[in-house]
Amino acid sequence: MILVDSSFVIEVIWRYNFLMQQNETDYLSKPISLVDVVRRDMILLENQIPLFVIEGLFNLAFPRHPKTGELSFVQLSIHYFGCVSLFNHIPQTISESEVKHFVDLLRLCHLPSTLIILPRNWVKFVTIPTARDHQEVGLSIRKGWSDNILDIQYAEGVLKIPQFDSQDDSKIILRNFIAFEMCHCLNDSYIIDYVVFMDSLMDTAQDVDILTQDEIFESLLFDRASVATLFHNLTLGVFWSSRNYYYHGLCQEVNKHCKVPWNKWKAILKRDHFSTPWRIVAIVAAVILLVLTLIQTVCSVISILH
């Protein structure tokens, strides 16, 4: 069975990377939706075959094949899964000898560019306010330009979050990543950390609206409440350790900003009095009128004294 399944996987990936003559009686030549079903099945954790088995058979089937050139089976696999992944580039720094299977391969592709390991004795979990609460204290949320969705950054009152494309496959991919990390990566569960972070940002549909306006979500296939529910449900029943929370330092900086009273007062002033050009004009006119009235009053007092 492993031999049959591995041969099928090799043929699917080969056909995707190198166009072959189509046969109408062949399943893989049918509408692309059916092929997508195969791709989704291949990223389910329960369907994984050890990569060294498939890669060994691939090297036996295509030894020094001119079409592959310098491309390895792992690189061909990354290209095949690219259309259902959450990354926007093909990583070049993956150690192929350490890849266990396709789920592990895709997870490695999604790891942040800078890996941070906190001290093992750290146990306190630090969260952040919701997107709506961020607006209340004048903290801006903007779309980050990183190719990796995990590269969330904060600096000088601005939280930059890479765009997340909420498509049908996103839920499947994240669930399999989470299941894999719960079994094998409890000390560096970067995907779980990301889901926990995003879940803390969204409590209501209004929070989703704010993130959508800030282009954090590229497209919404579900209603607003369902997006918040998606991330919330992903965290249910997850066995997770907070001592190596990847966004711990970032959350501390955000909370530090939120605790400064002046930031909240400045945000209220901007929202209530400077949110539209007409309000700005009205405020400026009122200030000018107040200054002129004050000058007139001073001039009147001076003339009376003289």
What's the pLDDT score for residue 4?
93
What's the pLDDT score for residue 236?
84
What's the pLDDT score for residue 37?
81
Q: Are 216 and 143 in contact (CB under 8 A)?
A: yes
Question: From its phi and psi, is residue 238 left (phi > 0), alpha (psi between -120 and 50) or beta?
Answer: beta
Burial class for 226, CB neighbours closer than 10 Å (0-12, 13-18, 19+): middle
What's the pLDDT score for residue 168?
67
Mean pLDDT by 10 residues, the chain (306 residues): 92 80 65 71 92 92 71 86 67 73 89 65 71 78 83 85 77 89 85 90 84 75 70 83 81 81 58 61 75 81 73
Cα→Cα distances 107→111, 128, 134, 250, Å: 6, 25, 30, 22
Q: What is the DSSP letter of 99?
A: -
**Distance (Å, rounded) from C-alpha 243 to C-alpha 248?**
9
Reported pTM:
0.78
Burial class for 3, CB neighbours closer than 10 Å (0-12, 13-18, 19+): exposed
What's the pLDDT score for residue 167?
67
**Distance (Å, rounded) from C-alpha 192 to C-alpha 185?**
10
What's the pLDDT score for residue 103?
92
Q: Count each helix (H run) and each strand (E run) in the chain, helices first.
A: 13, 5
- Residue ranges of the domains in the chain? 1-110, 131-261, 276-305
Q: What is the DSSP string of 39-60?
A: HHHHT-GGG---HHHHHHHHHH
What's the pLDDT score for residue 46?
93
What's the pLDDT score for residue 248?
84
